[in-house]
Amino acid sequence: MFTNREHPHALPKGYQLQEYHLQAVLGVGGFGITYLALDTQLNQKVAIKEYFPNDIAVRERDNTLSPKSQNDAKEFQWGLDRFIQEARTLSQFKHSNIVRIMRFFKANKTAYFVMEYEQGQSFADALEDGQTVSEVELMVILPPLLDALETVHNAGYLHRDIKPDNIYLRDKDNSPVLLDFGAARFDVSRRSRSVTSIVTPGYAPFEQYESDGTQQGAWTDIYALGAVLYRLTEGGAPMEATKRIRITMRDQPDPLKSAVKIGRGKYARDFLQAIDWALEIYQENRPRNVQAWRKLLLSTSAEPSPSTESPLSQPAPETLSRQSLFKGNREVLEEDSGTLRDRTWMKRQYAVAVLLLLIAAGGYGLHHYFKEPRLAPPPITKQTTPRTTAQAGQHSDSLELDAIAQERARLERELEQLRQQRDTEKQRQYIQIAQEDAAEIGQKIWLNESSGKISGLTAWNNGENFASLGIGHFIWYPQGEEKRFTESFPQLLEFMQEQGVILPDWLQNTPDCPWQTRQEFLNNQRSHKMVSLRTLMKNTVPLQAQFIIRRLEMALPHILDTLPTAEQRAHVRKQFYRLAQTPEGIYALIDYVHFKGEGIKPTERYNGQGWGLLQVLEQMSGESVDYATTRPNISSSVAYKTPHQNATKPVGYEAGKTALTVISEKFK
């Protein structure tokens, strides 16, 4: 139960406010006071909230409110209007887990709204310091609470002040009620710059400390509710967001200990991961809405997460694994991309099988299939000469057979395209790399290129006309700049979106680099755009490695298309697969094709000499390797997962590796 706290600025006990007799103070905040009152007409208890922004208003002797100064008058009146608008908005919600607004009115030169009074207590009052709540209890409370919050968001509204004090538990059934919305408080603070009055340290995300509110959204409330869950499972509130972001800006890891580590063995793994997801320091990395978050938060298994480190026994659901890339240093879910690709191909293969059966059945099979109403009948041309019934029938059969023949030809063309697509996918299987290996490769590239520093993820080298971003120095040109080298950063953004990454709003449409010069780029190192860009690069290192791997996948077909003779193509293909057969070779190919290029662009030359992968492969020599039989070995984790193992190198491997080194040193 809420404590009966007296407040020097509160209306006195026993005060008659219209038909309401005030009995006690239920709560006090920076922007209002909540009272317990008796409705003397209906003889029932109610809760009444008074608009009282104590930073800019004072209580007069006659119990009216006045602005503290003439300068505060405009802000006070503007906030009063917003308070009334908030009451109007909340009164529209007819949800059992949202506090119900019964009426609102003006009095004492301020405003009040009347709410149903519920017997119960808040989380803050119910829990002692350090006390936690079991997962079983939370799984009863969370679904209706999430539903209530989603209802608010779907109406275009935010709570902005979710914390243990504002989640009330009814005595009768322990069901939750969402209290004390902070939208009006935010609007007042935005004008008066009293930010500290509307944030609760530990529960307010970083974007809520900004005065304009343009970065706030559903993810703001999700952070706050995630912080509440952190408190309920860990026993204490998370570290204040401003402290966390100051530390991460110094290229240091997030100091907040993850819920996964704290709650391991006591709560389900998915549940703990959902809390960590909600508490991502930058809003771009959090769930976009309650629906996305609910899928992970409530997908708990019957058993808690193991108390010791162990890999997941099953791959994560497809809809969640992509989102889980945005966990930074936290433990992440993994997607078995090979399994997903196989399932996709199985669906296509099933469709192909149906078409094959129809074609194999000949005229009858296709005739029977296309007699179904899903196909439009052949067009009917106007007849100039009367026909007999027999002639009409023969003509109809002829048209029908022509349509069948055309449809059969179309299906055969589509079938051939599917076969080619299948063969292309099989050709690429040799280069697929597991998530953990991609992460290892990504970290290695990051260490090599930027010493593993976060600041190195957003660079612009002296003398260049483009930004170099991420672990692979992906190129991003400003508008109007000559693009001598392949611009890879926009391609990376498209790849990320394909994988389910939610980009910052300003990157959604893959714009040109917003900084026109290197100096402008350097001057904006602490801007919101740069911070969000750097965070995106930090949290997607494995995905960037996968993108670099995809570039390698496409390199060989591109190179082969430029070679005029079958002999040249055969030689380059052999050397490529011979080099790719070993762990070191895989990394060398990935690193070389990304940083030196394919070697097929006329602009990528030095003194007339190309320095790309094509030139390296042309200089390699040695015994041929049957890449058709060795290709499956490349896709197994054993082939490249542990570089320290004594893998058998193909004949001529050292020569190829030396060629990479020589060409690289000569033309770097």
C-alpha–C-alpha distance, residues 455 and 404, integer Å:
64
Tell me: pLDDT of 71 over 90. Answer: no
Radius of gyration of the chain (CA): 33
Q: What is the DSSP letter of 209?
A: G
Parallel/antiparallel/unpaired status of strands 458-459 and 467-469: antiparallel
SS3 (DSSP) at 265: coil
Can you tell me the mean pLDDT for 369-396? 41
The contacts of residue 576 (CB under 8 Å, 6+ apart) are: 556, 589, 617, 627
The contacts of residue 196 (CB under 8 Å, 6+ apart) are: none
* Of the candidate ranges 196-205, 292-301, 430-439, 574-583, the one whose mean pLDDT is the lowest: 430-439
> In which band, very low, low, confident or very high, does the pLDDT at 339 lie, cut at 50, 70 and 90?
very low
Helices (H), 430-540: 435-450, 489-498, 518-523, 528-539
Q: What is the pLDDT of residue 428?
A: 44
Query: Is pLDDT larger for residue 229 or for residue 652?
Result: 229
> In which band, very low, low, confident or very high, does the pLDDT at 75 lie, cut at 50, 70 and 90?
confident
User: Which tokens go with 372?
Assistant: 């179904």
> In which band, very low, low, confident or very high, does the pLDDT at 135 lie, cut at 50, 70 and 90?
very high
Give residue limits of the domains in the chain: 16-116, 120-327, 339-430, 435-543, 563-667
Cβ count near 440 (within 10 Å) = 18
Tell me: pLDDT of 475 over 80. Answer: yes
The contacts of residue 13 (CB under 8 Å, 6+ apart) are: 6, 22, 23, 24
Q: What is the pLDDT of residue 472?
A: 84
> In which band, very low, low, confident or very high, does the pLDDT at 644 lie, cut at 50, 70 and 90?
very low
The percent of residues in the chain predicted with pLDDT above 90, rounded, is 30
Tell me: pLDDT of 398 over 90. Answer: no
Cβ count near 337 (within 10 Å) = 18
Q: What is the DSSP letter of 301?
A: -
User: Which tokens go with 640?
Assistant: 């490249």
User: Which tokens go with 137?
Assistant: 């209890």
Q: What is the pLDDT of residue 603?
A: 61
Helices (H), 200-327: 218-234, 241-248, 259-263, 269-278, 290-297, 318-321
Q: What is the pLDDT of residue 355?
A: 42
Q: What is the largest CA-CA distance in the chain?
A: 106
Place of tokens 């997903």: 340
Closest by Cα among 549, 547, 574, 548 to 560: 574
Can you tell me the mean pLDDT for 54-69? 92
Cβ count near 658 (within 10 Å) = 12
Provide the phi-psi class of 500: left if phi over 0, else alpha when psi is between -120 and 50, else beta: left
Closest by Cα among 193, 197, 196, 199 to 75: 193
Q: What is the pLDDT of residue 643?
A: 30
Helices (H), 429-488: 435-450
Tell me: pLDDT of 321 over 80. Answer: no
Amino acid identity, position 137:
E
User: Which tokens go with 138?
Assistant: 């939370």
Can you tell me the mean pLDDT for 234-239? 93
Can you tell me the mean pLDDT for 332-355? 37
Tell me: pLDDT of 5 over 60. Answer: no
Query: Is pLDDT larger for residue 8 or for residue 315?
Result: 8
* Of the candidate ranges 75-84, 304-313, 453-462, 581-590, the one whose mean pLDDT is the lowest: 304-313
> In which band, very low, low, confident or very high, does the pLDDT at 376 lie, cut at 50, 70 and 90?
very low
Query: Is pLDDT larger for residue 164 or for residue 211?
Result: 164
* Of the candidate ranges 38-42, 100-104, 495-499, 602-606, the one whose mean pLDDT is the lowest: 602-606
Give pLDDT tens digits for 544-589.
888 887 777 777 877 887 888 888 888 888 888 777 766 567 667 7
C-alpha–C-alpha distance, residues 530 and 391, integer Å:
77
pTM of the full predicted structure?
A: 0.47
Q: What is the pLDDT of residue 332?
A: 31
Note the CATH number of domain 120-327: 1.10.510.10
Name residue 34's beta-bridge partners.
27, 49
Parallel/antiparallel/unpaired status of strands 20-29 and 32-39: antiparallel
Cα separations (Å) of 547 from 216, 428, 496, 559? 31, 14, 8, 18
E strand map for 412-511:
458-459, 467-469, 474-476
- Tell me what the pLDDT averaged over the chain comes to: 73
The length of the chain, given as a count of residues: 668
* Of the candidate ranges 123-132, 138-147, 164-173, 656-665, the one whose mean pLDDT is the lowest: 656-665
Query: Is pLDDT larger for residue 300 or for residue 251?
Result: 251
C-alpha–C-alpha distance, residues 591 and 263, integer Å:
39
Tell me: pLDDT of 34 over 70. Answer: yes
C-alpha–C-alpha distance, residues 659 and 622, integer Å:
12
Q: What is the pLDDT of residue 419?
A: 56
DSSP assignment of 587-620: HHHHHHHHHT--S--TTSEETTEE-SHHHHHHH-
Can you tell me the mean pLDDT for 249-264? 89
Whether the CB-CB separation of 599 and 559 falls below 8 Å is answered with yes
Tell me: pLDDT of 302 over 60. Answer: no
Tell me: pLDDT of 379 over 80. Answer: no
Highest mean pLDDT among 38-42, 548-552, 590-594: 38-42
> Thinking of the domain 16-116, which architecture would CATH place it in?
2-Layer Sandwich (3.30)
